[in-house]
Amino acid sequence: MGVAERRAREKDDLRKKILDTAADLFIEQGYENVSMRKIADRIEYAPSTIYLHFRDKVDIVANLCAATFGELDRRLQEILDLGLAPLETLHRSLRAYIDFGLDHPSHYVFVFCTPTSMFKDMEQSSGEQIYGCGMGSFGRLKNGLTACMAAGVIREGDVELLAQSTWLMVHGITAGLICQAEFPFVDKEMLIEHSLGRLIGSLR
């Protein structure tokens, strides 16, 4: 690895560390109570280092949301690339969504559970970019349901209605497992698969 490549990787690693730390602090202390200095202190860097990568806290939020949707979209695309049957693709995609949330709980809770009114100071262009990323992932769900209908493996219906209700159900499973971690859940693997089985069964 050359010097330039190593420096680029170190820069990317630091940006990721800043975003991960910011997500954790936003959940722990509340978005409004977190400052750039607090983020810097947590990762043991000078605040000036944070400003080399992000303009301000709003810029961190915009990049955090974009990175979160980007990683989710990457996982969903990997499943689509397998070329599986529509119903299997749907099942794996829903499971990937849940696994993504459980793998990145702070990112998930902040991005998917924080009221949008908290980000009123965000630039319109950033807000539109984040909205576009989110709707892109939602569009994958609609496409998956449409493919299942075309294949005759789920019943015909209003795709928008089915997509929104399906997302709310999967979001509920994901957020519940993250936010109610102290609840005496049964084996999580069994619980997730049982819940997905009932959800997909209701579509057939």
Provide the residue ranges of all domains of the chain, joining segments of one domain with +: 1-54, 57-203
CA nearest to 76, candidates 159, 163, 139, 158? 139
Query: What is the rounded CA–CA span in Å between residue 30 and residue 96?
Result: 27
Nearest to 147 by CA among 80, 66, 61: 80
Q: pTM of the entire structure?
A: 0.88
Q: Cα–Cα distance between 127 and 34 in angstroms, integer?
A: 20
The Cα 199–Cα 204 span in angstroms is 9
The single-letter code of the amino acid at 143 is N
The CATH classification number of 1-54 equals: 1.10.10.60
- pLDDT tens-digit readout, 54-107: 999 888 988 898 899 989 999 999 999 999 999 999 999 999 999 999 999 999
Task: Name the average pLDDT for the chain.
Answer: 91
Quick one: CA torsion of 75, 57, 173, 181, rounded to 10 degrees? 120
Superfamily of domain 57-203: Tetracycline Repressor, domain 2 (1.10.357.10)
Q: What is the pLDDT of residue 92?
A: 97
Burial readout 135-152 (b: 16 or more C-beta within 10 A, e: otherwise): eebeebbbbbbebbbeee
> Distance between CA 2 and CA 23 in Å, rounded?
32
Contacts with 200 (C-beta within 8 Å, 6 or more apart), sequence order: 87, 90, 91, 94, 154
